A = this chain, B = another copy of it.
C-alpha cells in the first residue's frame, strides 16, 4: 500500500490547485492502491520528521514500503512504472513520457505559476503581466497544434504526462487564455471529465472540509470571494 502525503487543510484560495492532486489522480488512473496521509499546511510541513521526507517541506511525497520519494514529476513517473504503464525496457516510450512530464513542469508551469502569483498578489506590474500572458500563450499555441492531431499530449493514450499538463492548464481557468485555443479547451474538458479525476477531487474536497465545487473554481472566482 502506497502512502501519499497530501493536504488536509490549505487556504481557500488554493483548494483544488495543490500539487498532491497530481499524484492522487495518477494513482487513481493507474489503479494503484493508496492511502492518504493528510497534512496541515501551516504546522505539519515544518516539523523535522516531515523534513526527513521532503528537504523543502513540500507536498506531495510518497512512501512505498519505506521508499520515500518527493517531487510530483518523479512520483508520477515512478507510479506509472510501478503499475506497468511504462516499462524499464521500453526506453524510448519511457523518455517520451519523461519529456512531456518535464515539459509540463519546466516549460509550462513556471510562467503560469508566476502569472497566477501576480494575479493573486494584485501586483502593480502590468507590463510583467502582459509579458507573462504572451509567454503562456506562445506555449499554448504549440500545444494546441499537437492536440489537433492527437487526443492526448503524446498520442491517443492518456498518460501521467497528461495529468501534469492538465493541472497546469487548470491554473489558467477564467483568465481568457485557454479559451483562445479550441483544441486545448476541448482537451482540458475531456481530461477533467475522466471518472478518476472527478473521484479524486470529490474525496479531496471532503477531506479538506471544503464546499462541493470549491476545487473547481477559477482564479477570478476565487479572488471575488
A residues contacting B by CB (< 8 A) are 51, 55-58, 67, 69-74, 77-78, 81, 88-89, 91-92, 95-96, 98-99, 101-103, 105-107, 109-110, 113-114, 118, 121, 123-125, 127-128, 131, 138-139, 142-143, 145-146
Contact present for A105 and B106 (CB under 8 Å): yes
Are B56 and A103 in contact, with the CB atoms below 8 A? yes
Q: CB distance B113 to A71 under 8 Å?
A: no
For A127, what are the chain B residues with a Cβ–Cβ distance below 8 Å? 123
Q: In the assembly, what is the distance between CA of A91 and CA of B88, in Å?
A: 9
User: Is the CB–CB distance between B128 and A121 below 8 Å?
Assistant: yes
Q: Which residues on the B side are within 8 Å of A146 (C-beta)? A: 55
- Cα distance, A91 to B78, chains bound together (Å): 9
- Nearest first, the 10 closest Cβ-Cβ pairs linking A and B are A88-B88, A71-B102, A74-B99, A125-B125, A110-B110, A105-B106, A74-B98, A73-B102, A55-B142, A71-B99
Interfacial chain B residues near A110, Cβ < 8 Å: 109-110, 113-114
With contacts A74-B102, A123-B128, A125-B123 taken as known, whether A58 is within 8 angstroms of B107 at the C-beta atoms is yes
Given A88-B88, A91-B81, A142-B56, A73:B107 Cβ within 8 A: no
